[in-house]
Structure 1
Amino acid sequence: MAGFMSYFGRRDTKQSARDAIIKLREQLQMIEKKEEHLQKKADQEYKIARANAVSNKPLATAALKRKRANETQLEQLRGQQMQLEMQVNTLESANLNAETMSAMKKAADVLQDIHRGMSVAKVDETMAQITEQREVANEITELISNPMGVDMAGDAELEAELSALEDEVLTDRLMGADHVPVHMPEGARVEKKPAMVTEDDEEAALRQLQAEMAM
């Protein structure tokens, strides 16, 4: 109930401020119109005084007095106008401050409603639960991806197998290097080496010698 009355109290205050500003601006418009009228009268009296300054001095003097009276009223109206403008500015600034504070208060209430029931400890607990469930999901995925009975090799075994494959490939390449033709630049001289006699050639020569002796 107190909050309800406070809300309507604030609304009435804001409305009162708006009404006061409207009233002050209306008063300023009336003063501006009156100032315009007095200025015209002062200008007219000045023209009369100027026209009769030589031919009719009493009339010129009376015109100057009326001009001075109009100017005095103008000064008074300008003073009132300044006071009214200051009040308008003050009310508008106060009303703006009130609107700003009201908006900030509403935002604070919304934030309080959003964070209601939340705390740092509860957030930490929730994050821990999320991490735990993520780990459970990863374990389930691993179990599903690795059927029962299939022995998945460990990292050490995979590295050993890969190393053996590398050695095998390098050995094959080295063994096949003797059969790879070597590119020689043009003009290079290649020295011919005497052919080595293999064991098959030696056996053939020995059989031929035995045949000759038998003859």
Structure 2
Amino acid sequence: MSSWGWASVFGGSAAKSKDTPKNAILNLRCTLGMLAKQEKQLQNQMDEQDAKARKNVTANKGGGCHASMAKAALRRKKHYEHQLELTSAQMLTIEREVSSIETANLNKESFNAMKQAQQAMKTIHGGLAIDKVDQTMEDLRELHANGEEVSEALAQGNVGQGVDEKEPDERLAEL
């Protein structure tokens, strides 16, 4: 079977690349949950060994082998403490990785948005050249000037044609 599947034909690789950070974060958070359970279990085991050591120390007052049992319990407790420290360090490392992936993903999304904005600006300004803008503005100024001249010509043409001034003067003289 070919390595080409329907997903690659219909853009599955882009979706897969977007899902990769999400899957990594989910996997890391699942691991954090598992480590938190282990941390709780180690804490319980430490408490249990501490209780055994205390019990054997109080029972040792009468003499016997209780002292060696108390020491063994304290050694186990120390071992669990070390395991707890390692587990806590692992959790911290994983939390940092989650944060790093989230930050990197946000950076990538921000970059993609800026790149898309750049493309939009190129498309918008693609047809705009300064000579074309200057020529259009000059044409508009000429058209406005022509319009003003036409308006003035029309306004002046009506002023003189309204009433013949000689006729009223002649009639006034006749009266």
Name the counterpart of 1:76.
Answer: 86
The letter for the 2-side match of 1:83 is T
Tell me, yes or no, if structure 1 residue 119 matches structure 2 residue 129.
Answer: yes
Tell me, yes or no, if structure 1 residue 22 matches structure 2 residue 26.
Answer: yes
Deviation at 1:104, TM superposition (A): 0.5
Q: CA RMSD in A?
A: 2.2
Residue 44 of structure 2 is aligned with which of 19, 40, 47? Answer: 40
| CA 1:97–1:8: 2 relative to 1, 3 Å | farther
Deviation at 1:58, TM superposition (A): 2.4
5+ residue gaps, structure 2 = 1-7, 60-65, 162-175
| CA 1:58–1:149: 2 relative to 1, 3 Å | closer
Name the counterpart of 1:59.
Answer: 69
The letter for the 2-side match of 1:142 is E
Deviation at 1:120, TM superposition (A): 1.1
Deviation at 1:10, TM superposition (A): 4.5
Residue 87 of structure 1 is aligned with which of 77, 97, 105? Answer: 97
CA distance in 2, matches of 1:126, 1:59: 98
CA distance in 2, matches of 1:37, 1:87: 24
The letter for the 1-side match of 2:44 is K
Tell me, yes or no, if structure 1 residue 13 matches structure 2 residue 23.
Answer: no
Deviates further, 9-18 or 104-113: 9-18
SS where residue 54 of structure 1 aligns?
Answer: helix
The letter for the 1-side match of 2:110 is T
SS where residue 98 of structure 1 aligns?
Answer: helix
TM-score (norm 1): 0.62
Name the counterpart of 2:35.
Answer: 31
Deviation at 1:74, TM superposition (A): 0.8
Deviation at 1:11, TM superposition (A): 4.0
Question: What is the CA deviation profile of residues 76-133 of structure 1, one whole-angstrom value per residue up to 9, with x for unaligned ones?
Answer: 2122112212221221111111101110111111111111221111111111111111
Deviates further, 18-27 or 58-67: 58-67
Structure of higher CA gyration radius: 1
Question: What is the CA deviation profile of residues 149-203 of structure 1, one whole-angstrom value per residue up to 9, with x for unaligned ones?
Answer: 629xxxxxxxxxxxxxxxxxxxxxxxxxxxxxxxxxxxxxxxxxxxxxxxxxxxx
Deviation at 1:47, TM superposition (A): 1.9
| CA 1:11–1:129: 2 relative to 1, 3 Å | farther
How many pairs align?
147
Deviation at 1:8, TM superposition (A): 5.8
Which structure has more RCO (C-alpha within 8 Å, separation ≥ 6)? 2
Percent of pairs identical after alignment?
33
| CA 1:132–1:8: 2 relative to 1, 3 Å | farther
Deviation at 1:13, TM superposition (A): 2.1
CA distance in 1, matches of 2:107, 2:87: 30
5+ residue gaps, structure 1 = 152-215
TM-score (norm 2): 0.75
Deviation at 1:9, TM superposition (A): 4.5
